[in-house]
A and B are shown apart, each in its own frame.
Chain A
């Protein structure tokens, strides 16, 4: 296991506010991805960071932004929150072992926008 930790676990925000979610891993993997999972749906890819640079983005507006730090921890920032942003936000690290690249997820942050 790679010990992916997300904080906070739960969060309630008001429409129009901004939020920052955090992710770190025990092993300091250099590739981190963020996903949004609405209730009853599969996770949807938001973006990915590799060595502090964004290197892939899903169909999400620019108000979803991120950072990756030198220690490979990461943040997801969402501005101008909308009610539809209510979801479980998942962080994943990619662990490369030879030709295998396996994704390991954190426990998620449950965001509720009211």
Chain B
């Protein structure tokens, strides 16, 4: 069974700092990996999607990498801002079409 782990569970950084969030998964037979943002009590906003054949994707200050063989992905956030404060979730899509989620990293960016 696919298991997804996110480290750290919580992270607090000063504004302007670059940071890396980590995601690992146990079964490398995935179709893609998606990073989401979730504000408290809200739904999920899709940030980046990486296909299994890709190594990375970029959107603005966000860069996500994927090493499928080692079961790892990272989300890099450059020049963090207080508005980046949220919980970040990674999810992998398997052949069954459903997503397996990690428990998330709660990020706080201090002004």
Contact of B44 among A48, A105, A110 (CB under 8 A): A105
The reply to whether the CB of B42 lies closer than 8 angstroms to some CB of chain A is: yes
The reply to whether the CB of A108 lies closer than 8 angstroms to some CB of chain B is: yes
Q: Are A108 and B103 in contact (CB under 8 A)?
A: no
Q: Which residue of B lies closest to A94 (CB)?
A: B97
Report which residue of A33, A41, A42, A105 has the largest number of chain B beta carbons within 10 angstroms of its beta carbon.
A42
Within 8 A of B (CB), among A4-37: 4, 6, 31, 33, 35
Nearest Cβ on chain B to A60's Cβ, whole angstroms: 12
The reply to whether the CB of A77 lies closer than 8 angstroms to some CB of chain B is: no
Q: Are A56 and B98 in contact (CB under 8 A)?
A: yes
Q: Are A45 and B34 in contact (CB under 8 A)?
A: no
One digit per residue, 1 when the CB lies within 8 angstroms of any chain A CB and 0 when it does not, for chain B 65-109 equals 000000000000000000000000101010011111111100000
The reply to whether the CB of B4 lies closer than 8 angstroms to some CB of chain A is: yes
Q: Are A103 and B102 in contact (CB under 8 A)?
A: no
Main secondary structure of the interface of A (DSSP, over half): strand
29 A-B contacts (beta carbon < 8 Å): A4-B43, A33-B98, A35-B99, A35-B101, A41-B103, A42-B89, A42-B103, A43-B44, A43-B89, A43-B99, A45-B98, A55-B97, A56-B96, A90-B43, A90-B44, A92-B44, A92-B99, A99-B51, A100-B49, A101-B93, A102-B46, A103-B34, A103-B46, A103-B91, A105-B36, A105-B43, A107-B42, A108-B42, A108-B43
Going nearest first, the 9 A-B pairs with the smallest beta carbon separation are A42-B101, A107-B43, A45-B98, A105-B44, A108-B43, A105-B43, A42-B103, A102-B49, A43-B101
For the A-B complex with A43-B99, A105-B46, A108-B43 known, give 19 more contacts whose Cβ atoms are closer than 8 Å: A33-B97, A35-B101, A40-B103, A42-B101, A42-B102, A45-B100, A55-B97, A88-B41, A90-B43, A94-B97, A100-B32, A101-B93, A102-B34, A102-B49, A103-B99, A105-B43, A105-B44, A105-B45, A107-B42
